[in-house]
């Protein structure tokens, strides 16, 4: 009985959506790494190859967004609510902290330049906290 539950259509479709999203995300990360480090280690000074890899990375990014949409649409209504709350928290937190961080740079409160990678890391951390909070709330 439990085996048939684990393999019902909805669960299988969700697992497929997660795998598809993981695949697109993985490819996006690899192409991002190639586009970022390629000019230094693989094709120094060749801007044409850099442009091609940036374009490939952008296109894969579009595919990743599509896969994420498929994944979100496949979730049930409670899971979608948890995702929405986590994403809202991440967007709001990222916007507020990102602008404050940028202001600190432009007003020379901090000595280093504001890096967008820090903002991405912060938004990811807030998103994960939001997911944990949501899952705990509806446990």
Partner 1 sequence: MKNKLKVLRAERDWTQAQLSEKLDVSRQTINAIEKGKFDPSLPLAFKISRLFDLPIESIFEDESSSSK
The alpha carbon of 90 is separated from its chain's Cα centroid by a whole number of angstroms, namely 11
| Of residues 42, 134, 137, 28, the one with CA closest to residue 85 | 134
* Least gap, CB of 31 to partner 1 (angstroms): 33
| Site stretch for partner 1 (CB under 8 A), options 1-9, 36-44, 83-91, 112-120 | 1-9
Contact pattern for partner 1 over residues 66 through 105, marking x by CB under 8 A: ----------xxxx-x------------------------
* Least gap, CB of 135 to partner 1 (angstroms): 8
Residues 110-129 that bind partner 1 (CB under 8 A): none
Residue indicated by tokens 């009985």: 1
Q: Is-contact 8 20, C-beta < 8 A?
A: no
132 binds partner 1 (CB under 8 A): no
Q: For residues 49 and 72, which CB has a smaller minimum distance to partner 1 in the complex?
A: 72
> Can you spell out the DSSP letters for 54-67?
HHHHHHHHHHHHHH
- Rounded CA separation 81/136 (Å): 13
Residues that bind partner 1 (CB under 8 A): 1-2, 4-5, 8-11, 76-79, 81, 135, 137-139
């Amino acid at each position: 009985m439990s085996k048939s539950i684990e393999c019902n259509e909805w669960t299988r479709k969700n697992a497929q959506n997660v795998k598809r999203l993981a695949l697109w995300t993985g490819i996006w990360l690899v192409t991002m790494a190639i586009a970022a480090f390629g000019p230094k280690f693989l094709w120094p000074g060749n801007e044409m190859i850099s442009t091609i890899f940036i374009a490939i990375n952008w296109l894969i990014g579009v595919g990743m967004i599509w896969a994420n949409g498929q994944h979100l649409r496949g979730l049930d209504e409670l899971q979608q609510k948890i995702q929405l709350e986590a994403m809202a928290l991440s967007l709001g937190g990222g916007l507020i902290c990102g602008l404050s961080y940028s202001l600190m740079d432009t007003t020379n409160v901090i000595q280093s330049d504001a890096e967008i990678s820090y903002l991405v890391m912060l938004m990811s951390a807030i998103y994960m906290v939001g997911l944990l909070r949501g899952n705990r709330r509806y446990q």
